[in-house]
Chain A
Amino acid sequence: MGDASDRMRVSAWVREHGPSLQRFLRARVRDEHAAADLVQEVFYRAWRKRLQYEPQSKDRAYLFAIADRLACDHLRRPHRMAVFAELEEPAECGDPAGGLLEAENAALVREELSRLSDAQQRTLLLRFFAGMSFQEIADALGCPLGTVLSHCRRGLERLREALAGELA
């Protein structure tokens, strides 16, 4: 069923991409438990299709494309929406006042992110967490490159407008 090379490959996936996949899915589905389940599902699906997909250099884009599709499927089901900001806890920091301010700003940004359209969120999150090129994002989202660039730019414009008077 599985051999040593499979085991090494899965271990490499988990070590290199596991944490960022966790964070990406957590940001997408806004549910910690669901994100944990989806991470496992990402690795399972990637492992099952490993024979159909060989190029090693594209592992990150491959895994995040699967994660994005799973997150979309998850969000299509009812009773899945939660408030992203509620799930985030303030980050630990040496300076309590500065840390609190920073955490508040971060929470504000994440809240504004959750108000963007789904396509804009997917584009920005894949760009940040997966480090995918816009062409790879376009392939993963199944839309033209120009549309992806437009999503990215409009998403950033909306974030900028929302945060212009809010960030301390």
Chain B
Amino acid sequence: MMDHDRVEKITAPDGAAQDLDEEEARLRDAWLALTNALGNAPNGAPSLDPDDVYAELMSRERRRAKSNRRTAVVCAASLIIAVVVGVFAWNRGPAEERIGGNDVAMVPIPAWDDDWEASAREVERELLANAESLRYETRVAWIDRELDFLFVECVRVWTTL
């Protein structure tokens, strides 16, 4: 390991280097040649104006904040889209199964081999019984279809009679 103090002395500012031996003096000369060359090198760049530098900092910071906001909006929108698509895909299968799952059983139609008053009363009782049993607060597709079927049957019966 180099002697810290010796290297400090060799590279010390002007006038601060003392008690140098021959080898150190030669290195000191090289250091001074370097510092002269670097110190005298013309600075071709325009001098910096603190206000300009600060204005540029603020401008860059605004651009960065704007970019961050845009990125956040894009991420949020992507997340919302992903959630919507996921919810749609998740609910799609089970919903269809529920709608088509319950087949409506065929209601046996009474034979029309008796006098029409008895048959009509029988149909009316059937309708009333079914209407009571089908009275639900929520709308369910298969119940709607059942009601439609019964309604058509009623119309057909009454048209026939």
Q: Which residues of A contact B (CB under 8 A)?
A: 1-2, 6-7, 10-11, 14-15, 18-19, 22-23, 26-27, 32, 35-36, 39-40, 43-44, 47-48, 87-89, 91-92, 102-103, 105-110, 113, 124-125, 127-129, 131, 134, 145-146, 149-150, 152-153, 156-157, 159-160, 163, 167
- How far does the alpha carbon of A39 sit from the alpha carbon of B47 in the complex, in Å? 11
Report whether B38 and A32 are in contact in the complex, using a CB–CB cutoff of 8 Å: no
Besides A109-B37, A110-B41, 6 more A-B contacts (Cβ < 8 Å) are A6-B54, A32-B44, A92-B42, A128-B38, A150-B2, A153-B27
Known A10-B54, A109-B36; judge A91-B42 contact (CB<8 A). yes
Question: What is the minimal beta-carbon distance from B13 to any residue of chain A, in angstroms?
Answer: 8
Known A22-B48, A153-B2; judge A40-B56 contact (CB<8 A). yes
Report whether B45 and A22 are in contact in the complex, using a CB–CB cutoff of 8 Å: yes
Report whether A14 and B35 are in contact in the complex, using a CB–CB cutoff of 8 Å: no
> A interface, by DSSP: helix, strand, loop or mixed?
helix
Q: List 17 A-B contacts (CB under 8 A).
A: A10-B53, A10-B57, A18-B53, A19-B47, A22-B43, A35-B45, A39-B45, A40-B56, A109-B33, A109-B34, A128-B39, A131-B13, A149-B2, A152-B11, A153-B10, A156-B30, A160-B27
Question: What is the minimal beta-carbon distance from A64 to any residue of chain B, in angstroms?
Answer: 14
In the assembled complex, B18 has its CB within 8 A of some CB on chain A: no
Which residues in A have their C-beta under 8 angstroms from that of B27? 153, 156-157, 160
Report whether A23 and B37 are in contact in the complex, using a CB–CB cutoff of 8 Å: no
In this complex, what residue of A is CB-closest to B47?
A19
In this complex, what residue of B is CB-closest to A47?
B57
Report whether A128 and B35 are in contact in the complex, using a CB–CB cutoff of 8 Å: yes
Question: What is the minimal beta-carbon distance from B60 to any residue of chain A, in angstroms?
Answer: 6
Which residues in B have their C-beta under 8 angstroms from that of A14? 48-50, 53-54
Report whether B48 and A106 are in contact in the complex, using a CB–CB cutoff of 8 Å: no
In this complex, what residue of B is CB-closest to A24?
B38
- How far does the alpha carbon of A152 sit from the alpha carbon of B8 in the complex, in Å? 10
Report whether A134 and B4 are in contact in the complex, using a CB–CB cutoff of 8 Å: yes
Question: What is the minimal beta-carbon distance from A128 to any residue of chain B, in angstroms?
Answer: 6
Known A32-B45, A106-B37; judge A153-B57 contact (CB<8 A). no
CB-contact partner of B7 in A1, A11, A22, A152, under 8 A: A152
Which residues in A have their C-beta under 8 angstroms from that of B49? 14
Question: What is the minimal beta-carbon distance from A108 to any residue of chain B, in angstroms?
Answer: 8
In this complex, what residue of B is CB-closest to A87?
B44
Report whether A102 and B54 are in contact in the complex, using a CB–CB cutoff of 8 Å: no
- How far does the alpha carbon of A88 sit from the alpha carbon of B72 in the complex, in Å? 47
